[in-house]
Amino acid sequence: MARPRKQTYTLDMYLRKVRKGDIDNNADVQRNFVWNNEQINELIVTVLTDDYIPPIILGEEENSKLHIVDGGCRTAALRKFRDMNYKITSSIGNSMIPYKKKVMDGNEVVTYEDAEFDIKNKTYEKLPEELKEKFDEYQMETVIHELCDSHKISGYIKRYNNHVAMNTDQKAFTYLNKFAGRVREILEGKFFIECNNYSEKDKTKGVVERIVVETMMCMNHFDNWKTQARASCKFLNEHATDEEFDRFADNLHRLEMIVTDDIKDIFNKKDSFIFLTLFDRFTGLGMEDDKFAEFLREFKDNFRDIKRNKKGLLFDEIDKELSTKDRQVIMDKLDMLEGLMREFLQEKEPGVPQKSLEMFLAENLNMSPQAIRVDMDLYNESLNLLLEETVRVDSRLRNQENRASLLAMMAYSYREDKDLDAWMADYAKNHNTYLADQQKNFISMRNDFEKYYRQKRKSA
């Protein structure tokens, strides 16, 4: 059997042959056109930027008629733009196309200048002449199998289309190119190999990459939470930092030391990012990591089936009415879990005897009691105003038992000359409880504030 031959056409010539029927795109077993606007847009950009398109595979009958074996959707998409008034949609990301603009001076001397054209919402007819020519002259490679009949053509179609296209999660990950290497390193660690309940299918279908992305968003950028994986990947590609990935990798290494077979099923594809975020919050409490494992056991064995949140729902009932990726659902789950965790840890680590507020602030801020006493009225007035503007009236953060650590935060902000308002609004949005041990609670809030302050400073 002769090897298939290669043939290169200009795109204009190739599409003319399709229009005339010399190249047929309607083989009996060929699938219908299934591409969406995003795929069409990307293909057109590929042509206009002179990037690579894999060869179209053709089958040739003895009478020289050609049938498309592989590349039918590409062909149909290109025809839609060239011949059917298809308009590039506004959702396209890379819409600015560079080209050489022809310029003629008064002496009819032609020069070429660098220019750009925004193809968003444009049809072929709206392109500059230079880009029309670039489109029509694109070199379309084909590979032609000779001496075919309908049976052979069907066999070739089956062979060349025997592949699995990227799913939504896999495609979304391509938008995280800046940190893709970091994610791959993280996925090669012990946690994603042994300390979880992910199936082999999850690991090959892009699910674990999505879990990393969701966790990074939840830990560091929850105010910008996205329900769609692609939107999250785009956001992280622009706003994430190496330090955030370093902290996540460190968290995973710590979890590898404490997650045992009896609790690893908690880290499944649905809730992993919730519990990974919960551990990140736990790290700010300054407690031994095995305490977190103890909480997970208690949650799995008891709390999950008997403890209800303030709306009267068990943990697994919270996402009953809304999507598991809904922002409010995530907030409710984390609020419930953090409250349960703090209550559990309080029982394990009872608080120290109550001290006077002045002494408490002095010891925790390394200041003299006299200095604290002078400014105590200022701290109280400032705290009352802060709570009124940033914390819900029904939040447990307002409880009198939590006053000492809040006053310590206010005194800390004055000492460090750092404003609390934005952080407190964010903190109250994601926290509704506190540690009875006010010293530990102050340390936890201070750590959270410093992390928030560093991130804001980097993004400024």
Neighbour tally for 160: CB within 10 Å: 13
- Give whole-number Cα distances, 202 to 186, 363, 364, 451, in Å: 16, 50, 47, 32
pLDDT at site 5: 92
DSSP 8-class letter at 161: T
Cβ–Cβ < 8 Å for 287, 295: no
Q: What integer pLDDT is reported at residue 76 of this predicted model?
A: 92
Summarised one tens digit per residue, pLDDT across range 262-305 is 999 999 999 999 999 999 988 877 788 999 999 999 999 999 99
Quote the pLDDT of residue 409.
Answer: 94
The span from the CA of 55 to the CA of 184, in Å, is 31
Integer Cα distance of 388 and 265 in angstroms:
41
**Cβ-based neighbours of 418, under 8 Å, separated by 6 or more:** 449, 453
Angle between helix 207-220 and 242-256 (nearest 10): 110
Beta bridge partners of 96: 118
Residues for the chain: how many in total? 460
> What long-range pairs does 398-403 form, CB within 8 A, spacing at least 24?
399/434, 401/434, 401/436, 401/438, 402/434, 402/438, 402/441, 403/357
Give the end-to-end CA distance of the chain in Å, rounded to a whole number: 66
pLDDT at residue number 154: 79
pLDDT at 413: 93
The model's pLDDT over 61-88, given as tens digits with 9 standing for 90+, comes to 888 899 998 898 899 999 999 999 999 9
Which helix H or strand E contains 130, and what residues bound it? helix 129-136
Answer whether 114's CB lies under 8 Å from 98's CB: yes
Predicted confidence (pLDDT) per residue in 219-277, tens digit: 989 889 999 998 999 999 999 999 899 999 999 999 999 999 999 999 999 999 999 99
List the one residue out of 88, 158, 151 whose CA is nearest residue 124.
88
State the Cα–Cα distance between residues 192 and 112, nearest whole angstrom: 54
As a whole number of angstroms, the distance between CA 359 and CA 356 comes to: 5
pLDDT per residue rounded down to tens, the chain (460 residues): 567 899 999 999 999 999 999 998 875 445 567 788 988 999 999 999 999 999 999 999 888 899 998 898 899 999 999 999 999 999 887 899 999 998 888 777 888 899 999 999 999 999 999 999 999 999 999 999 998 887 888 788 778 776 667 778 888 888 888 898 899 899 999 999 999 999 888 888 889 999 999 999 999 898 899 999 989 999 999 999 998 999 999 999 999 999 999 999 999 999 999 999 999 988 877 788 999 999 999 999 999 999 998 889 999 999 888 888 899 999 999 989 988 998 888 765 544 344 478 888 988 999 888 888 888 889 989 999 999 899 987 788 888 788 899 999 999 999 999 999 999 999 998 887 788 788 889 999 999 999 888 888 777 6
Question: How much is the pLDDT for 352?
Answer: 38
What pLDDT score was predicted for residue 374? 85
* Helix (H/G/I), strand (E/B), else coil: 36: coil
119 Cβ contact partners less than 8 Å away, ≥ 6 residues apart: 44, 45, 48, 88, 92, 95, 97, 127
Give the separation between CA 176 and CA 183, rounded to whole angstroms. Answer: 9
What percentage of the chain reaches a pLDDT higher than 70? 95
Strand 66-70 and strand 23-24: the pairing is parallel
Please give the pLDDT value at position 205.
86
